[in-house]
Amino acid sequence: MAKALEGVKVLDMTHVQSGPSSTQLLAWLGADVIKLETPGRGDITRGQLRDLPEVDSLYFTMLNCNKRSITLNMKSPEGKEVFEKLVGDVDILVENFGPGVVERFGYPWEKLQELNDKLIYASIKGFGPGRYADFKAYEVIAQAMGGSMSTTGFEEGPPLATGAQIGDSGTGIHLVAAILAALYQRTNTGRGQRVQVAMQDAVLNLCRVKLRDQQRLTHGPLGEYPNEQFGDEVPRSGNASGGGQPGWAVRCAPGGPNDYIYVIIQPVGWAPLTELIGRPELADDPAWNTPEVRLSKLDKAFALIEEWTEKHTKWEVMDKLNAHNIPCGPILSTKEIIEDETLAELGTVVEVEHPERGAFKTVGNPLKLSDSVVEIQRPPLLGEHNDEVLGALGYSADRLAGLRAAGVI
């Protein structure tokens, strides 16, 4: 069966997480992704956070499946020659270097256009043009400057980073959307274009409901938040959903650090909830029976629910609540997720064989297409596909040997 992006070639000049997360999705969708790395070292994450000596780290392997790897010294004249041939042969070039790095190599967008007028040149930067443009950005910096940290945590505590990598992988997903849009537009125009996503912008896009609430504050306190006092900015509100359906994480047995379940109280779910927790009289009590009257005492409502959930495991609670169509979700630890049989059956978590480290588990493709089935393949060893990729560009075995001896590849 053909893949959605079969025939599309990608030159992947990305490193660490934001860029590789994006190009890995393109590879899963069927694109031929050629990862360009520095000879001898490669992507810095190959050696970061290693759990096994002299073996590519899980940081690298979990972000670079289904790709081919070549090495190239971009500072040498021969390396630039190879690079220009690669640019002329691909559909998409993706990079996430710091501001100005590709330009200093001698390849501004205008030069790349000359080499390939159909090229889609996609970049991830920390910030858009303006005051912050030349600043470096990392995951938590993007969270800090995109509205996430100021609104995450409990009111009495400090700003918190979220465990979800919304700055890096979140931006990578945004870039995939932009690349696919540019690829589609090219079918009509025949021209490539410049595509750029800023990490700050991506995080802010994911935090839009907090900007919604910032504007709602001008008309009074936010009733669905548990906070007692409001200033002139959206506060941290713990585990409150911040939406029209109030929710909270309540404790379950036996009381471990992740023995919690997140429960949402919908109007239609209030009566069955009261039955489950042994307080059926609250179903018709005018002090409790509407969302409006419950709004001012949500803390008390969830305390009543917690008195019941503390007597049951989160799995038991999940089954009981779902039997009444009450939205809920047990707090799953990373251990529970990686061992979850359902997630394995769905391909949400997959096991991949690696020639040096053996089997490891990673996330599967979250994008499900009926006519483009994804098979997760192992990530490449450093420079594993030099001969294969450059040979297809016309480099002979003798020429490749010369480039290798000169340290070009």
Whether 44 and 372 have beta carbons less than 8 Å apart is answered as no
What pLDDT was estimated at residue 353?
98
pLDDT at 47: 97
DSSP string, 343-365: HHHHTSEEEEEETTTEEEEEE--
Helices (H), 146-198: 169-189
Is 211 annotated to bind a ligand? Reply is: no
243 is in an annotated binding site: yes
- With beta carbons less than 8 A apart as the criterion, state whether 252 and 313 touch: yes
Cα separation, 245 vs 234, whole angstroms: 18
The residue extents of the domains of the chain are 9-205+340-406, 247-326
Pick the CATH number of 9-205+340-406 from 3.40.50.10540, 1.10.3720.10, 3.90.1640.20, 3.90.228.20: 3.40.50.10540
Single-letter amino acid, residue 271: A
Structure tokens given for 337 = 């997720």
pLDDT of residue 1: 76
DSSP string, 194-206: EEEEEHHHHHHHH
pLDDT at 80: 96
Read off the DSSP letter of residue 313. Answer: B
Q: Binding residue per annotation — 216?
A: no
- The verdict on whether residue 269 carries a ligand-binding annotation is no
pLDDT in tens, the chain (409 residues): 789 999 999 999 999 999 999 999 999 999 999 999 999 999 999 999 999 999 999 999 999 999 999 999 999 999 999 999 999 999 999 999 998 899 999 999 999 999 999 999 999 999 999 999 999 999 999 999 999 999 999 999 999 999 999 999 999 999 999 999 999 999 999 999 999 999 999 999 999 999 999 999 999 999 889 998 999 999 999 999 777 789 999 999 999 999 999 999 999 999 999 999 999 999 999 999 999 999 889 999 999 999 999 999 999 999 999 999 999 999 999 999 999 999 999 999 999 999 999 999 999 999 999 999 899 999 999 999 999 999 999 999 999 999 999 999 9
Q: Any known ligand binding at 96?
A: yes
> What is this structure's pTM?
0.95
Q: What is d(CA 223, CA 239) in angstroms, rounded to the nearest whole number?
A: 15
Alpha-carbon distance values, 154 to 146, 300, 346 (Å): 18, 18, 35
Q: Where does 224-342 show beta strands of DSSP type E?
A: 247-251, 260-264, 328-330
Q: Listing from the earlier edge strand, what are the strands of the sheet with 9-13?
A: 67-71, 32-37, 9-13, 92-95, 120-125, 194-198
- d(C-alpha 139, C-alpha 143), whole Å: 6
Under CATH, what is the fold of the domain 247-326? Answer: formyl-coa transferase, domain 3 (3.30.1540)
Which amino acids are annotated catalytic?
Answer: 168
Beginning with the edge strand found earlier in the chain, give each strand of the sheet holding 260-264 in spatial order.
247-251, 260-264, 328-330
Q: Output the pLDDT for position 42.
A: 96
